[in-house]
Each structure stands twice: as C-alpha cells, then as structure tokens.
Amino acid sequence: MDSQVPGRKPALTPAAFLVRGLLAGLLAGLIAFAVAFAFGEPHVDDAIALEEAAAAHLTHEEVAAEEAAAAEPGMVEISRERQKSWGLLTGTAAVGTALGGLVALASAAVVGRLGRLSARGATLLVAGAGFVAVALVPFLKYPATPPAVGDPDTINGRTVEYFALLLVSVLAAIAAVVIGRRLLTRFDGVTATLVAAAGYVAVVSVAGLLLPGPESLGSFPADTLWSFRRASVLTLASLWATIAVVLTILVGRLHDAATADAERRALAASL
Amino acid sequence: MSQSSAAPLVPAVELPAVPLLQLGTWVVFYGLLAMLAIFFVSADQGAISLPAGNAVHEWVHDARHLLGYPCH
C-alpha cells in the first residue's frame, strides 16, 4: 500500500513500530538496571548474608550434598560483584528490549482503531495495560522473593503457577481491549473502558482465587522482605514507565508524519 | 492509505492504521523471539534447563529476583 511512494516519510508499518519499541525497551532496561542496582541490590545482599548465616548450621551430610551438586558438569560460581553489575544489566536489558518490542507491536494493532483515541493515547493505554497485566497482577498474587526464600524442590510448581497467572492475565487484557472496542459502538469511551477493565479484574480475580497461594516465607525478616519487594516494584515500574513514555513519544511522531503524508496525498488527489 | 486518496471526499482526519494481516506475521516471529529472551532471564535452569548446569541462572540471578520471577 505504502510502497507507491518509495523512500519518503516513515510509513506506519509493523517494522517501524518494532524498531521504536526495541529502542524504548533497551532504554527502559538500562533505567531499570540503575533503579534495581541502587535500591534493590542492598537488600539482595542482606538476604544472601542471611542465607549464608543459615548455611553455617548445615549438617555434614547437607554440606557434602551441596558440594557434590556444585561439582557436577556445567555448574559455575559467579561472583556477587558480577551478578549485581553485568549479570543484572544483562537481565534487565534483555527483558526490557523484549517487552518494548511486544508493547510496540501491540500498539501497532490498536493505533487508529480505538475510537477517536490518538496514537499517543493508544500507545500509552497499551503500555499501562501491559504494566498491570504483565507486572502488577502477577506480583499481587506471587510477589517477588529475595534469595534465601524459596525451596528449590518447589521451583517447578511455582514456575508453572506464576506463568499460568501471567498467561491468563495477558489473554484477559487482550480480550478486554477487543471487547472494550466493540462496546464503543453502544457506549461512550469512559463507560466502555470501565466495563472492559471490570471484566479484566473479574477474570484475573477468579484465576487468583483458583491458583494455589505463594510459598511460606518461614522466618525471613519482614523489614528486609518489605524493602526488597518495594525495590522490586520500583524496578518494574521504572521499566514500564520508560517504555510507556519513550514509545509514546516515538509512535506519536511516527503517526504525525504518516497522517501529514496521508493528508498531502488526499489533497493532491483532490486537485 | 491509498484508499483515502482514491476517494477525495473522505475526511482527512481518518486515522491511519497498520494492516492487521501484515502485523500478524511480525507478532508471530517477534513474539517467539521475545519469549525466548524472556525465558532465559526468567525461568531457565530453574524448572527447565537449556543447557544443563547453572551458568545462565547464576548470571541473570539478581535480575530474576528483582524482576519478580520465581527463582529458587
């Protein structure tokens, strides 16, 4: 369609959205790293100190079992300094970039299709819904846990439960947007949005009630736990806020250019 | 967008949108790639191990905890 005018304005294509999303996501990963390093790492260190203090009370058999496990092929030990710098950065940058691209493609699907909502408004809505569906709702049911909490024997079950809730939450959010859009034919924008949001909350609430609860925390100190979780929410919020702001600006500019281009062509055709 | 130029009386405020069929291909291929990247940070060498060992888990350990994924 847009190939009729080659090499002109950036057209509204999936690739144009994706590139902007990857850029916004990479930047978000860097900012999330800075937040996690500054506010989260002190509490991760506290938790690891508790873990090591507990390890001092292990029996000889338990120590021998751990040493045998560590000697297996493929097992490495990475220093704390590397884990909290390059390791943390790798994780936040990879997740940030991946999520940025996904948010951009989701925005590409809704821009120009949600009533009279502008491209900027639609992008902001998708990023906001993404934060709620991908980060906040799973956190409310299965909050982040610091090292020293969590029994390695239950990791399979906890992983399945976490990702099951994440899947339900994302599908419910997509359904809410699709249904909300249909409601626009009968209701105004605010009503349609509220009804769709209520439907989303109902679905994830039922999923949350059906899924098993989070694992017991044992005797982990409550103040360290709270500080860690607050830092974790702050990290997730900074990641999503950066994606939202940067992508909204970039998609807004892209859309302005595409609209101006379309208007020029419409004018030229009418002459 | 070419449709609007074919019909000059269509209001100029019509919002341009990305064709969904064209977008679908990108969603499938990029979606798989993104999920693979997220898998390595969020879950590898926990419930499922690719490759065996703990090198990936140890390297992204702090990000996995702070981004809220189940770790160990």
- The answer to whether A3 faces chain B, any CB pair under 8 Å, is no
A5/A182: higher pLDDT: A182
pTM: 0.90
Closest Cα in chain A, distance from residue B63 (Å): 5
Q: Chain A residues with CB inside 8 Å of B55's CB?
A: 74, 76, 78
pLDDT at A59: 81
Portion 125-184 of A in contact with B at CB < 8 A? 135, 138-139, 142-147, 150, 152, 155-156, 158-160, 162-163
Nearest CA in chain A to B68: A144
In terms of phi and psi (left: phi > 0; alpha: psi -120 to 50; beta: otherwise), the region of A218 is left
Instruction: State the Cα–Cα distance between residues A24 and A161, nearest whole angstrom.
Output: 30
Between chains, do A40 and B60 touch, taking CB under 8 Å as contact?
A: no
Instruction: State the Cα–Cα distance between residues B36 and B10, nearest whole angstrom.
Output: 44
Between chains, do B23 and A84 touch, taking CB under 8 Å as contact?
A: no
Which of A37, A76, A167 to mutate to test binding with chain B, by most B CBs within 10 Å of its CB? Answer: A76
Between chains, do A36 and B63 touch, taking CB under 8 Å as contact?
A: yes
Between chains, do A258 and B16 touch, taking CB under 8 Å as contact?
A: yes
Which of B2, B22, B53 has its CB closest to that of A73? B53
Instruction: State the Cα–Cα distance between residues A219 and A47, nearest whole angstrom.
Output: 12
> A228, A146 in Cβ contact below 8 A?
yes
Q: Percent of chain B scored above 90 by pLDDT?
A: 57
Instruction: State the Cα–Cα distance between residues A185 and A122, nearest whole angstrom.
Output: 18
Nearest CA in chain A to B55: A76
Average pLDDT, chain A: 92
Write the pLDDT tens digit of every residue in A239-249: 999 999 999 99
* Statement: residue A66 has pLDDT above 60: yes
ipTM of this model?
Answer: 0.90
> A267, A41 in Cβ contact below 8 A?
no
pLDDT at A144: 96
Between chains, do B16 and A262 touch, taking CB under 8 Å as contact?
A: yes
For A23-81, the DSSP string reads HHHHHHHHHHHHHIIIIIHHHHHHHHHHHHHHHTT--HHHHHHHHHHHTSTT-----HH
In terms of phi and psi (left: phi > 0; alpha: psi -120 to 50; beta: otherwise), the region of A150 is left
Which of B1, B12, B54 has its CB closest to that of A2? B1
Which of A40, A162, A263 has its CB closest to that of B69? A162
Low pLDDT (below 50) residues in chain B: 1-13
> A54, A253 in Cβ contact below 8 A?
no
